[in-house]
């Protein structure tokens, strides 16, 4: 591994890299692609919607010219639609922060398999969250994804509840962390 470089992209710049981002998505999720929610077209559709959201930001890691991983997120709309599919009641303090535009959602974090277990995901995570103006972060994790789930808990995330954000998506654990 050469010198790892991190860089930030806004929604417009991220959209310009959409095919390269989808290539990494396919490689990172190769064993989990299902032709539905976890597919290249579905990822590209979600990405197209996300890049236009307020506060969208992507941090990518490159080893030379090679894109090895990235993380992105955006501010949650005060309408609270992010919490659609939440099982049970969203806690009052989370609803209040959402209504005030003070919640940042991490939507994707992935590192290509050859670069895993080198601390890259943590570097991406920390870089994205550095300097955020929001008070609370949220991220969804598949409870079957033990490596990611373990990392998030080790990085200070805590379970808020379970959520199924899309009809064709798995049920995820919804995690939160003070920023």
Write the DSSP string, 120-139: HHHHHHHHHHTT-S-SEEEE
> Which pLDDT tens digit goes with each residue over 106-135?
999 999 999 999 999 999 999 999 989 999
10 Å Cβ neighbour count for 36?
Answer: 11
In this prediction, residue 169 carries a pLDDT of 86
Q: Domain residues for 50?
A: 4-178
> Which segment of 32-41, 58-67, 142-151 scores lowest on mean pLDDT?
32-41
> Which pLDDT tens digit goes with each residue over 39-79?
999 999 999 999 999 999 999 999 999 999 999 999 999 98
Question: In sequence order, what are the residues at sequence separation of 6 or more whose Cβ sits closer than 8 angstroms to the Cβ of residue 131?
Answer: none
- Contact at 8 Å (CB) between 5 and 62? yes
Question: In sequence order, what are the residues at sequence separation of 6 or more whose Cβ sits closer than 8 angstroms to the Cβ of residue 161?
Answer: 86, 87, 88, 90, 173, 174
Q: Note the Cα 52 to chain centre separation in Å.
A: 15
Q: What is the mean pLDDT of residues 20-45?
A: 91
The better pLDDT of the pair 166, 63 is held by 63
pLDDT at 36 over 90: no
In this prediction, residue 2 carries a pLDDT of 58
The average confidence (pLDDT) of the chain is 94
Give the count of domains, the chain. Answer: 1
Q: Which two tokens stand for residue 5?
A: 């470089």
Buried b / exposed e across 110-136, counting CB within 10 Å, b at 16+? bbbeebeebebbebbbebbbeebebeb
CATH value at residue 42: 3.40.630.30
Number of residues that this document lists for the chain? 179
- Contact at 8 Å (CB) between 85 and 165? yes
Q: In what order do the strands lie in the sheet with 66-75?
A: 4-9, 57-63, 66-75, 103-111, 136-141, 172-178, 158-163
Does the pTM of the predicted model rise above 0.75? Answer: yes
Q: What is the mean pLDDT of residues 166-177?
A: 92
């Amino acid at each position: 591994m050469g010198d790892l470089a991190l860089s930030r992209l806004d929604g417009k710049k991220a959209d310009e890299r959409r095919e390269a981002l989808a290539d990494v998505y396919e490689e990172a999720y190769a064993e989990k692609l299902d032709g539905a929610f976890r597919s290249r077209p579905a990822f590209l559709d979600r990405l197209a919607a996300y890049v236009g959201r307020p506060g969208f930001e992507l941090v990518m890691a490159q080893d030379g010219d090679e894109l090895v991983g990235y993380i992105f997120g955006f501010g949650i709309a005060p309408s609270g639609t992010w919490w659609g599919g939440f099982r049970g009641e969203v806690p009052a303090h989370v609803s209040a922060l959402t209504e005030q535009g003070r919640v940042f959602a991490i939507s994707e974090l992935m590192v290509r398999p050859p670069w895993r277990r080198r601390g890259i995901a943590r570097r991406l995570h920390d870089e994205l969250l550095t300097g955020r103006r929001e008070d609370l972060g949220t991220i969804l994790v598949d409870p079957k994804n033990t490596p990611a789930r373990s990392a998030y808990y080790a990085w200070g995330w805590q379970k808020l509840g379970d959520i199924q954000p899309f009809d064709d998506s798995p049920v995820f654990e919804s995690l939160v962390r003070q920023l």
